[in-house]
Amino acid sequence: MRYSLLLFLLLYTDIILGQTEYWKEIKNWDSSRVQALKAENGWLNLAGLFWLKEGQNTYGTHKTNDLVFPKGSAAKKSGTIILKDGVVTLNDKIIFHPDSVYTPVISYHNFNWSIIKREEKYGIRLRNLNSALIKNFKPIDRYPADTVWRVRAFLQKGNGNVMITNVLGQTIKQESPGKLIFTIDNKTFSLDAMKEGDQLFIIFGDETSAVTTYGAGRYMYAAMPDKEGYTILDFNKAFNPPCAFTNYATCPLPPKQNILPIEIRAGEKDVHMH
């Protein structure tokens, strides 16, 4: 009897300690997430997105420019940006080339901007390093962390690609190592995964989307599978896409097959920042 009680107490203590350590892990993950959002290359300081047309594009804060920047982010008549055959120049200096690994950043007071490319579109991404969104940012509301949403998943290899549409309406072929097969409440589900560096990247929606979580889905990372094909899907680390924080992002959306017919009551909730 004493042995059984002792064994029970030891097992119970291990469970409590394990949960405590896991909650600390989620808290640290959440803290790192907020730091990344507030960073100079984060999403909270975006102040504008301006698409270039082929040829000459005048820019500045005066309303007569082709690209009208917000007050304080440039001179009234700052100059002319030229887009020609995928190469962008400013004052005869190349500021974007499709074969270059480095894109220069142009600064003006507390603002900076650089060129981004989205398929056939080229644009200016403007940042305000003194953004009020950073100063006034409040913690992201989230579901309480629960290990029930940390599930084991098997990677079922696929044909190598998945089609992803972004908020611009562009549909892009992305590398996919296959489907992640997992079980919740004795029901089997699957999510198409993409490869991003040495991790799996998952875009998904569920029945909390547009109710308690962001309407256009959430994102999640997972480790590459082990030699037996298994990895861990931790929905407690599901997070909002950049578009939940700003109108100036170009977020990919969950493919139809990644809309789960259940409520995933885990991870970040909607931030209602627009």
Domain of residue 240: give its range.
Answer: 140-258
254 and 216: one domain? yes
Q: Examine the fold and report which residue of 96, 130, 164 is the final residue of a domain before the chain moves on.
A: 130
73 and 169: one domain? no
71 and 89: one domain? yes
Evaluate whether residue 11 is within a structural domain.
no
Residue with the two structure tokens 């300081």: 45
Evaluate whether residue 39 is within a structural domain.
no
Residue 59 token pair:
């820019």
Q: Examine the fold and report which residue of 97, 130, 163 is the final residue of a domain before the chain moves on.
A: 130
Please state whether 200 falls in left (phi above 0), alpha (psi between -120 and 50) or beta: beta
What 141-145 contacts at long range (C-beta under 8 Å, 24+ apart), as own/partner pairs, is 141/268, 141/269, 141/270, 141/271, 142/30, 142/267, 142/268, 142/269, 143/236, 143/265, 143/266, 143/267, 143/269, 145/22, 145/23, 145/26, 145/236, 145/266
Q: What total number of domains does the chain contain? A: 2
pTM of the model: 0.89
Strands (E), the chain: 46-51, 55-60, 67-68, 79-84, 87-90, 93-96, 106-108, 111-118, 121-128, 150-157, 161-165, 171-175, 178-184, 187-196, 199-204, 218-223, 230-234
Q: How far is CA 213 from the centre of its chain?
A: 14
Residue with the two structure tokens 């940012």: 137
Evaluate whether residue 4 is within a structural domain.
no
Cβ neighbours of residue 262 closer than 8 Å, sequence gap 6 or more: 184, 185, 187, 189, 206, 207
152 and 241: one domain? yes
Evaluate whether residue 271 is within a structural domain.
no
Distance CA 26, CA 21 (A): 9
Q: Are 236 and 22 in contact (CB under 8 A)?
A: no
126 and 222: one domain? no
> What's 88's domain CATH number?
2.60.200
Q: Examine the fold and report which residue of 78, 100, 130 is the final residue of a domain before the chain moves on.
A: 130
Evaluate whether residue 33 is within a structural domain.
no
Evaluate whether residue 215 is within a structural domain.
yes
210 and 246: one domain? yes
Residue 11 confidence (pLDDT): 43
155 and 225: one domain? yes
Per-residue pLDDT of the chain (274 residues; tens, 9 = 90+): 555 544 444 444 444 445 789 999 999 999 999 999 999 999 999 999 999 999 999 999 999 999 999 999 999 999 999 999 999 999 889 999 999 888 999 999 999 999 999 999 999 999 999 999 999 998 899 999 999 999 999 999 988 899 999 999 999 999 999 999 999 999 999 999 999 999 999 999 999 999 999 999 999 999 999 999 999 999 999 999 999 999 999 999 999 999 999 999 999 999 975 4
76 and 155: one domain? no
- Burial of 99 (C-beta count, 10 Å sphere; 0-12/13-18/19+): exposed
Q: Quick: pLDDT tens for 110-143.
A: 999 999 999 999 999 999 999 999 999 988 999 9
Q: Which residue from 158, 240, 151 is spatially nearest to 203, judged by alpha carbons?
A: 240
162 and 243: one domain? yes
Evaluate whether residue 270 is within a structural domain.
no
151 and 252: one domain? yes
Q: What share of the chain is helix, strand, coil (3-state, %, to 5)?
A: 20, 40, 40
Residue 9 token pair:
């107490």
Evaluate whether residue 35 is within a structural domain.
no
148 and 238: one domain? yes
184 and 106: one domain? no
